Amino acid sequence: MRAIVPFDARDPKTRLSVLFDADERRAFADVMLDHVVEALHAAGFEPTVLATAPVDRSDATVRVDDRSLSAAVNSVLDDWERPCAIVMADLGILTPNALDRFRATSGDVVVAPGRGGGTNALLVREPDVRVDYHGVSCRDHRAAARAVGASTTTVDSMRLATDIDEPSDLVEVLLHGSGRVHEWLRTHGVTLRADGGRVTVERS
């Protein structure tokens, strides 16, 4: 199955600027993209990186489109046969097993929500469904499916729900991740800190 992996190649992860400078944020985004593409391959997907600027990859097809996320993804959906998936590039604790369960879930549209109402992964089997990533997109994608008479199923998965945008999200990588994303954080001095019963991160 083919999979679209949207990727900001210009100025990624700006909300992590309290911990990392611009070069580090780009490097960290690249490491997360490597992790997601590797997991997709291991789960039998054929990934295409949909980037806002050219990126050099030997492990995935690259398609460049600097329009909004929704417009860029819908342009690919217009060209591709179903089924296909859209998987975000910042799922730092994603595993092939989570992707296997995602793909095995029945439904014309399978939604893996992110925390806060986003959509971290979407499996589209219905040709008439298009995406809209603005606002509460997991709700909007269910509505878009209903509008064309398509069934929807929601996947409850911590590993699919955890996208890395805020410093607090890094807690999940340090607690539950392994491999290159976890190692990059450790190498760059990011560690856990228990502060008044709440776990946060700090950088030494």
Structure confidence by residue, pLDDT tens digits, 179-204: 999 999 999 999 999 877 789 999 98
With tokens 């993209």, the residue in question is 33
Helix (H) or strand (E) holding 159: helix 158-161
The Cα–Cα gap between 92 and 7 comes to 14
- CATH assignment, 2-164: 3.90.550.10
Whether pTM exceeds 0.85? yes
The pLDDT tens digits of the residues spanning 50-61 come to 999 999 999 999
Q: What is the pLDDT of residue 105?
A: 98
* DSSP, res 81: P
| Beta strand 119-124 pairing with 84-87 | antiparallel
Q: What is the pLDDT of residue 195?
A: 78
Average pLDDT over residues 15-37: 98
Which three-class secondary structure string do you get for 95-124? CHHHHHHHHHCCCCEEEEECCCCCEEEEEE
CA-nearest of 29, 22, 40, 25 to 7 is 29
Q: What is the pLDDT of residue 197?
A: 78
CA-nearest of 77, 7, 69 to 40 is 7
* DSSP, res 86: E
Check whether 25 has a pLDDT greater than 90: yes
With tokens 């050099």, the residue in question is 56
* pLDDT, the chain, mean: 97
Q: What is the pLDDT of residue 179?
A: 92
Q: Dihedral through CA 142, CA 143, CA 146, CA 147, nearest 10?
A: -150
Q: Which two tokens stand for residue 75?
A: 């342009």
Q: Which two tokens stand for residue 54?
A: 């050219």
Average pLDDT over residues 65-85: 97
